[in-house]
Structure 1
Amino acid sequence: MIGKAALLETLAGKNRGLLATETQKQAILAAVAQLEDRNPTPRPVEATELLAGNWRLLYTTSEELLGLDRFPFAKLGTIYQCIRPGENKIYNIAEIAGLPYLNGLVSVGARFEPVSERRVTVKFERAIAGVQQWIGYRSPDRFIEEIETGKKFLALDFEIPSADRQGWLDITYLDDTLRIGRGNQGSLFVLTQDR
């Protein structure tokens, strides 16, 4: 049996999936499946105290996220998924390292709705993309506070028509520091949170 520590070791050095070979991806999927079978939180959507916070992406199969690393002069930095269960909101924030003083940021805000004990539907509402310095980005928490005030940023900042971007996410494993999810496009997400 593979445990949490073994999965984390398997993910080390894979740069969220960018550096994983096909053989390594298969080993990761097998390790994830074994851990999902031992999910300590059978009703993860209801475990709001565990869900809340800023989760850092360790690994994904999402081509949409990994594709952010393919822009010229850009290197994918830390990716966060910040969950605010009290407001039913999720903020995806991807930091992008670029030329000096031109570090970027891509963020998508969404509202989620629980539909079962482990599934939420997600409706994307707002996208923001620009240079961190121009946006005034310092941390996920402060950035989210500014979004919540309705601030418009000196960036590409627009509302997403709800019919255009909807999906769902199954939370298949949740404990106090690790979360695993599977999305409607077949993507896998492994995230960690320091508590």
Structure 2
Amino acid sequence: MITKLVSDFHLSPLVCRTMNIGKLQRFEPVINRSRINTSGFGDKPLWFRPFTVIKVAEKPSGYGLVEDETLAQKKIELYQALEEINRGIFGIPSGKKLEIESLVKQLESKNPTPEPTLELDKVDGCWRLVYSTISILGSRRTKLGLREFISLGDFFQTIDKAKNKAVNVVKFNAKGLTMLSGELTIEASFKIASKTRVDITFEKSTITPDQLMNVFRKNYDILLGIFNPEGWLEITYVDENMRIGRDDKGNIFVLERFDDNSNS
């Protein structure tokens, strides 16, 4: 029997402020009190949204070891593991990658929404990427100027369930005589393929402003090849504030719900 302990637990909204993770100490016996200080590309803090904490009932004696860790604890552990890795976009040590993927699998096994395409209201809205196994390494990173000249900002995804549309926005800053800010926008449509999977079709892409397009024009095919979402996506976990997916290329994506009004 599952006992619901806490419902609609609220913390600070997702804005650029600092949160002491010690406030969540009540959910685990021992916790690192260091602050979660970055979400990756844009060096903005990670935040937690409302979620339900569940306690697993004890099994009869002799049943075996019973895992007594809550869903909330696993999310905290995952956010801690994601500290200071720039969302994994420029590569991470193999041990760290294994740690993150283990936590992802544990969350997926506790997915509170086992048939997400039948509950698209939980997927609808704006999300910000906090981790991906997609990486930009070696010559691709050099050609795109992502070592010194170009810095990679936040990655947002907005899902419009009414129109079956997904819009991905990747922020960039280019250094020069003046700082140039811009973004790559990729629009796609999706259709439900199963209770957990959607098929995604690329529609169009744009880079604004024109000066940023001039920077990327020579290697635009490389840029689009990295961020083009076409294919299928399996939604393996979704709740009020976190979504996890796996695509047909073997990539993992972890996103947190974001306030659309702050995405500007």
TM-score bracket for the superposition, by shorter chain length: 0.7 to 0.9
Higher relative contact order (CA 8 A, sep 6+): 1
C-alpha distance 82-165 of structure 1, shift in aligned 2 (>3 A): closer
Q: CA deviation at 1:19?
A: 5.3
Rounded Cα–Cα distance in structure 1 between residues aligned with 2:135 and 2:253: 12
| 1:59-102 deviations in Å (ceiling 9; x for gaps) | 0011369x986522111100011111110000111001112342
Structure 2, gaps ≥5 residues long? 1-68, 218-223, 260-264
The answer to whether the Cα contact below 8 Å between 1:101 and 1:133 also exists between their aligned partners in 2 is no
Q: How does 1:28-177 map to 2 (within 5 A)?
A: 28-63=100-135, 70=142, 71-72=144-145, 73-99=149-175, 100-131=178-209, 166-177=230-241
SS at match of 1:192: strand
Normalised by the length of structure 2, the TM-score is 0.58
Rounded Cα–Cα distance in structure 1 between residues aligned with 2:80 and 2:91: 14
Q: Which residue of 1 aligns with 2:75?
A: 4
C-alpha distance 165-192 of structure 1, shift in aligned 2 (>3 A): closer
Rounded Cα–Cα distance in structure 2 between residues aligned with 1:108 and 1:25: 27
**Identity percentage over the alignment?**
34
- Name which of structure 1's ranges 41-50 and 111-120 shifts more when overlaid on structure 2: 41-50
Normalised by the length of structure 1, the TM-score is 0.77
SS at match of 2:162: helix
Larger radius of gyration: 2
Give the root-mean-square deviation of aligned CA atoms: 3.0
Decide which structure has greater strand share: 1
Q: When the two structures are aligned, how many residues end up with a matched partner?
A: 171
Rounded Cα–Cα distance in structure 2 between residues aligned with 1:121 and 1:3: 29
The answer to whether the Cα contact below 8 Å between 1:69 and 1:75 also exists between their aligned partners in 2 is no
Report runs of 4+ in structure 1 exceeding 6 Å deviation: 132-135
Q: Which residue of 1 aligns with 2:17?
A: none
